[in-house]
Structure 1
Amino acid sequence: MLVPQIVLNKPTTPINLALLVIEVDTRASRIQVLDRGTGQLQAHLPIYSPKLFKFLPIEYASRPNLMVIMIDDTNVFNAAIADNVQAQIIDLVTFDPKDLPTAQ
Structure 2
Amino acid sequence: MPSIWWKWPRTDASAIWKPTNIVKYAQASKVSIVLTREDGAYRLDIQDDGKGFNLGTAKKMGALGLKGIEERVQVLGGKLTIASEPGCGAKLTVKLPR
**Same topology, TM > 0.5:** no
Which structure is higher in RCO with an 8 Å CA cutoff and minimum separation 6? 1
Q: Taking structure 2 as the reference length, what is the TM-score of the superposition?
A: 0.31
- Looking at secondary structure, tell me which structure has more strand per residue: 1
